[in-house]
Amino acid sequence: ESLLEAAKDGEMYDYTINFPLYSGVKALYIGLQQGAKVAKPTPYAIEKPVVYYGSSITQGGCASRPGNAYQAIITRELDCDHINLGFSGSARGEDAMAKHIAGLPMSVYVMDYDHNAPTAEHLLATHEKMYKCVRAAQPELPIIMVSCPECRLTDDQVKRREIIRATYDHAVEAGDKNVYFIDGSTLTWRFGGDSGTVDGCHPNDLGFMCMAVGIGEVVKKALG
């Protein structure tokens, strides 16, 4: 039985509308039967949203529909809202973005911009710096660092993964007990490796489910 059919029983239901991942919304119309009631939704179980920052993969390309992006899947599973700061081609760990993110109210920060750093040297110059900026503003915030979700890593991608791992290691050595590292190369191997992408890079729905399971496990742990 669909939710639309269930709604005919006169009970109140929560609905989530996932807006387009790339297209802008100019107008939204919702049709209701005469006499239907609209009320505030049931609050999320987690008060503050999870914030995701990263590449076009983070943004949601190439999910078949908005609700299949990995963050949306995690949101449904854990009953927590999220803010998607995924930018196709333009998430590069900029100081302005680090400061903006540092000021956001959030329950967890997922840092996933490996793909968009133009070089390993750029990643080295910005990754730990961004972590420190957010950590200075929010000392108790769980921060999750993810390397690119590629199945087969090039030498450059291995170097990038080690840069991210070094940020994590340095944080732990400094006494940070609320930081996590995810090796992105392990994510899509769960259910078929390359079958989880459309082009060897951008996940399809299967790949996003793999990411939702792998990253979601750590988000759940971070939330306690």
pLDDT for res 5: 59
215: left (phi over 0), alpha (psi -120 to 50) or beta: alpha
pLDDT for res 11: 83
pLDDT for res 208: 95
pLDDT for res 36: 87
Match 């399971």 to its residue by tokens: 213
pLDDT for res 1: 44
Alpha carbon distance 49, 153 (integer Å): 31
Q: What is the pLDDT along the chain (224 residues), one digit of tens a residue?
A: 455 555 667 788 898 999 999 888 999 998 888 888 999 999 999 999 999 999 999 999 899 999 999 999 999 999 999 999 999 989 999 999 999 999 999 999 999 999 999 999 999 999 999 999 999 999 999 999 999 998 889 999 999 999 999 999 999 999 999 999 999 999 987 666 778 888 888 999 999 999 999 999 999 999 99
Tell me the backbone φ, ψ of residue 180, rounded to 5 degrees.
Answer: -135, 150
Residue 125, token pair as written in the block: 């110059």
pLDDT for res 59: 95
pLDDT for res 12: 87
What's the burial of 154, exposed, middle or buried (CB within 10 Å: 0-12/13-18/19+)? exposed
pLDDT for res 6: 56
Alpha carbon distance 209, 122 (integer Å): 30
pLDDT for res 181: 98
pLDDT for res 180: 98
pLDDT for res 57: 94
